[in-house]
Amino acid sequence: MSFNKIIIVGNLGRDPELRYTPQGTAVCNFSMATNEKRRDKSGELQDITTWFRVTLWGRQAENASKYLQKGSQVYIEGRLRIDEWTDRDGNSRQTLDVNASDMQFLGGGRQDDYSSGDNEDYDSGNSETARAAASGDSGGDDDIPF
């Protein structure tokens, strides 16, 4: 038996790009970065950024395109593949590709879409929170003065 699963929490490096296959299946691609701090040999903290190319399919692809934008934080689960290729200058390059199976919005979505009232297809683990935020519902805290 073999197993290939990756979990990434990071930020979009560019706006999602939505396309459709000839059969009508939605496909969404975007780049995503994770950041961590490590000490170098001299003991100074260095920011380490790792980039991933993410592909989502179907309804999740449409939701990503609708609600995410460059800078949005998102949780992605999927399968990791390393794509090796040669650039124009003949240099060998590698790209980390993630075929996503699950996505959860973590915050910072497109506020204009949330406030439009058209969020019945917001499909993530935070859907109740998003719906409450979109409708102005504070979750039952009617006695809070602000």
Domain of residue 31, residue span? 6-38+46-135
Is the residue at 144 inside a domain? no
Q: What is the mean pLDDT of residues 42-62?
A: 95
Is the residue at 142 inside a domain? no
Is the residue at 29 inside a domain? yes
- Give the total number of structural domains in the chain: 1
Is the residue at 50 inside a domain? yes
CA of residue 91 relative to chain centroid, distance:
29
Q: Looking at residue 102, which CATH number applies to its domain?
A: 2.40.50.140
Strands 45-57 and 26-39: antiparallel
Is the residue at 82 inside a domain? yes
**Residue 114: CA count within 13 A, CB half-sphere:** 21
Burial class for 54, CB neighbours closer than 10 Å (0-12, 13-18, 19+)? buried
pLDDT band at 100 (very low <50, low <70, confident <90, very high): very high
Least confident range from 5-9, 103-107, 129-133, 141-145: namely 129-133
Flag whether the pTM goes above 0.75: no
Tell me: pLDDT of 91 over 60.
yes
Q: What is the mean pLDDT of residues 102-124?
A: 53
Is the residue at 146 inside a domain? no
Q: Is 138 helix (H, G, I), strand (E, B) or coil?
A: coil
Is the residue at 63 inside a domain? yes
